[in-house]
Amino acid sequence: MSSASPAAAPDTVLVVDFGAQYAQLIARRVREARIYSEIVPSTMPVAEMLARNPKGIILSGGPSSVYAEDAPAIDRALFEAGVPVFGMCYGFQIMATTLGGTVDDNGAREYGRTPLKVTRSGSTLFEGTPDDQSVWMSHGDACSAAPEGFTVTASTDVVPVAAFENDEKKLYGVQYHPEVMHSTHGQQVLEHFLYRGAGIEPTWTTGNVIEEQVALIREQVGDKRAICGLSGGVDSAVAAALVQKAIGDQLTCVYVDHGLMRKGETEQVEKDFVAATGARLVVVDAEKRFLDALAGVSDPETKRKIIGREFIRVFEQAQLEIMQEEGPDVAFLVQGTLYPDVVESGGGTGTANIKSHHNVGGLPDDIEFELVEPLRQLFKDEVRMVGQELGLPDEIVQRQPFPGPGLGIRIVGEVTKDRLDLLREADAIAREELSAAGLDREIWQCPVVLLADVRSVGVQGDGRTYGHPIVLRPVSSEDAMTADWTRMPYDVLAKISTRITNEVADVNRVVLDVTSKPPGTIEWE
Ligand code: XMP
């Protein structure tokens, strides 16, 4: 790309959020169909939705009954604007009632997997799908009569109108949740709406995202300079790589080595990231500073506060040094904010500023940076795809979640250099064996924890030992909000246990954490 003007906005589908957690999943499914989607609250005026020039609108499910007093409504104008609309679950019912159909509480509750009978197999939504399919239901009220002009296209044993469409007006609806995996032909039905109903071409790809963002970043930053803090995680690495692609050496990356990283991770940033992107990187070796600050501290909250505080101090000092070297043109701070964070903090598309305070002479006390957030529109899996396309190594792009305070919160007890080294070894063994067994995708993350304040008796070689236990905490999860312990193969556990007790001095016991979240958190701290 040589032009500095932004690429044309992609065809967009708006997902109207009626309050449950389905909207994000729907938006992801639309993007899986290679069409760009954005989530908007159901309280947004219809005129504002239409002003975004959507090529289609999806009404999500939600927790309310359409007849509840405080049930979110939708302006009829939405259905009269000529924009194709697809209602799902609550969205289906609100569409039915708004357009004159009947929804009532006839006792026809359905939750979970439900058989669906397609009654119009050639319909826009169901063409090419089987007459009998399994769908995911979650409703109390049910639609008993479709609005005038609509054709009923499917039913269930208890719900006469489980799907309808008005092809002429481009309005479609299903009582169930096509976005969840349990609806066996859900994605196909969604794609039928997008491609056949709304007539949108599937042209949105991560390649487009890169092109679009590169143009936007160039426009935003101009000939000024930017700083990006790298944490070793996926998001900051991909954000930095995108900005690097756009503005090259106008970007300086800063990596604070706090000494709490896992084995090999600092090298990944120092060598592999730089090799893949050509980015200018400043590494601040702050291990001693962090360990001094953590000396004698066992309380987890205090540890977190100390690590957070030291991190900001070290990062700001590095910022200042860069500014002193490069002059006042350093006006931008790159951050790896993702779309779920944007949605959860109330949406918004504007650019924010961030104030940086410090007490070092030579520059004003308050410096205001404008934020560059090139991942604001993306979900995590899309960020990984962008990273891959930008040539970042798999070790960075496919990295499992790792807490900012690092191994500092995986040592229960005081954090010391010796204990960190010990934990790093044990953690490296566990990671190596999990990868060798092909479990990286199945396991969301596997914290390895050192119980530094616990000792127990063991026997190793000819002697009695009094060593520390290591805890393995493999969890399966969708989003880390809830998690279950992973039922991983005994032989892999056995291998990890044998290797850790043989190879890591002062560890004579390996235990498996079999607690789900809740009640247990993923990290021990
Ligand atoms: P918990 O322990 O609360 O962890 O079940 C949920 C998820 O968050 C990660 N985690 C953090 N990530 N900074 C981070 O960037 C942190 O301070 C932090 N603490 C926990 C944890 O690894 C898990 O994925």
Q: What does the alpha-carbon distance between residue 504 and residue 525 come to, in Å, rounded to a whole number?
A: 21
Ligand 1 center–CA 312 separation, angstroms: 19
Instruction: Choose which residue among 309, 522, 525 to substitute to test ligand 1 binding: the one with the highest number of ligand atoms within 8 A of its C-beta.
Output: 522
Ligand 1 center–CA 297 separation, angstroms? 20
Measured in angstroms, how far is the CA atom of residue 480 from the centroid of ligand 1?
Answer: 8
Domains 12-197 and 206-397 share a fold: yes
Q: How far apart are CA 108 and CA 110, in angstroms?
A: 7
Measuring from atom 18 of ligand 1, which residue has the nearest CA?
403
For domain 206-397, give the CATH number.
3.40.50.620
Domain boundaries, the chain: 12-197, 206-397, 410-512
Return the structure tokens found at 84: 């194709």
Residue in the structure block whose two tokens are 């999860």: 477
User: Nearest C-alpha to atom 11 of ligand 1 is from which residue?
Assistant: 403
Q: Which residue has the tokens 């309050």?
A: 19
Measured from the Cβ of residue 505, the count of other Cβ atoms closer than 10 Å reads: 12
**Cα–Cα–Cα angle for 17, 23, 25, rounded to 5 degrees:** 175
> pTM of the predicted model, to two decimals?
0.85
Report the catalytic residues: 89, 177, 179
DSSP summary character for residue 445: B
Class of domain 410-512: alpha beta
Buried-exposed string 68-78: b where 16+ CB fall within 10 A, e elsewhere: eeebbebeeeb
Ligand 1 pocket, CB under 6 A: 401, 403-405, 445, 480, 517, 521-523
Domain 12-197 matching CATH 3.40.50.11540: the answer reads no
How far is Cα 102 from Cα 96, in angstroms, rounded to an integer? Answer: 7
Q: How far is Cα 21 from Cα 16, in angstroms, rounded to an integer?
A: 12
pLDDT in tens, the chain (525 residues): 334 344 567 899 999 999 877 899 999 999 999 999 999 999 999 999 999 999 999 999 998 888 888 889 999 999 999 999 999 999 999 999 999 999 988 777 888 999 999 999 899 999 999 999 999 998 888 999 999 999 999 999 999 999 999 999 999 999 999 999 899 999 999 999 999 999 999 999 999 999 999 999 999 999 999 999 999 999 999 999 999 999 999 999 999 999 999 999 999 999 999 999 999 999 999 999 999 999 999 999 999 999 999 999 999 999 999 999 988 899 999 999 999 888 877 765 445 666 655 444 455 566 688 999 999 999 999 999 999 999 999 989 999 999 999 999 999 999 999 999 999 999 999 999 999 999 998 999 999 999 999 999 999 888 999 999 999 999 999 878 889 999 999 999 999 999 999 999 999 999 999 999 999 999 999
Residue 130: phi and psi, rounded to 5, are -65, 155
Q: Which two tokens stand for residue 142?
A: 């049910």
Q: What is the CA radius of gyration of the chain?
A: 27
**Looking at ligand 1, which atom is closest to the CA of residue 477?**
24
